[in-house]
Structure 1
Amino acid sequence: MSGPVLRWRVRRDLLLLKIVGALVFAVATVVSIGDSHGTILAGVATVMMTVLALRDILAPVRLSADGEGLVVTKGFAGSERVPWSEVERIRVDTRTRFASRTGVLEIDTGGAVFLLSQFDLGVPCQEVADDLRSFRTGS
């Protein structure tokens, strides 16, 4: 990456919450030994929370931008470099369900669409979309 770089990452407090959740579920797994259903349920929850926390540890930066293009997290903890010339559209898809508004940042390259939520970026999706558009055009 050359020149100034913008980065968006998972908030550390959410990572800490996932780690605490994994520990709570691990304790629940141990406490529920003897109740096979409870043990299985708590064990699955422990594994899921651990995997989510591990992803945040291995790939905390989900999106970065520089003068050449974007680097977007892909898969569990991989990443893909996308040159600006391949980015066709950057937009925020906003939905309202049950009195709650959620937004998802969409980066469309024609061949792939990358979707990132506020939880991935650490800030509102519209803010990131605006920053990316300004950064890309240099204004």
Structure 2
Amino acid sequence: MKLAGAVGLAALGLLLADGDPVPLALAVAAAVGLVGWAVRDLVAPVRLAVDAGGVTVVRGYAGRRHLPWDAVETVTVDRRSRFGLTGETLEIDAGESLHLLGRADLGASPTEVAEEVLAARP
């Protein structure tokens, strides 16, 4: 969907340009951003993995970092309301680092994922 959106933005920029390079440049910049976001999803589709040894989270664009269970201090869900909508974020506190994952990163409700992470913790 993100790649299709990037193509649509580029096409919209071409339609709106009509000799003016600014709309085309803005549309191309937005399309490049969407392509980058789509590539990230293709390169590192799994943002969180849990096993008996600990938690593996994505670090940076596509790197991974394994956190052993003894390094994980807390696993919580932060809920915030804004403009009538409630957003949830899974927070994994590893002392020196805090890892935040949203619904789009997890592919499921952060509350459900937090329950599964806590159930897997020895």
Q: TM-score range by the shorter chain?
A: over 0.9
What's the CA shift string for 1:22-49, capped at 9, x where partnerless? 1111222333262211011101111110
Letter of the structure 2 residue corresponding to residue 120 of structure 1: D
- Show structure 2 runs of 5+ residues with no match: none
Q: Is the 8 A contact 2:76 2:90 kept in 1?
A: yes
Aligned equivalents of 1:107, 1:45: Cα separation in 2 = 31
Cα RMSD, aligned residues only: 1.1
Query: What letter corresponds to residue 103 of structure 1 in structure 2?
Result: E
Q: What do the CA deviations read for 1:89-115 (whole angstroms, capped 9, x no partner)?
A: 000000001110000000000000000
2:3–2:35 CA contact under 8 A, matched in 1: yes
Is the counterpart of residue 75 in structure 1 residue 60 in structure 2? yes
Please, which moves more after superposition, 30-39 or 98-107?
30-39
If asked which structure has higher relative contact order (CA below 8 Å, sep 6+), I would say 1
- Report the TM-score, using the length of structure 2 for normalisation: 0.95
The AA in structure 2 aligned to 1:92 is V
Identity of aligned residues (%): 39
In structure 1, runs of 5+ residues without a counterpart are: 1-16
Report the Cα distance in structure 2 between the residues aligned to 1:46 and 1:34, rounded to whole angstroms: 19
Q: Which residue of 1 aligns with 2:92?
A: 107
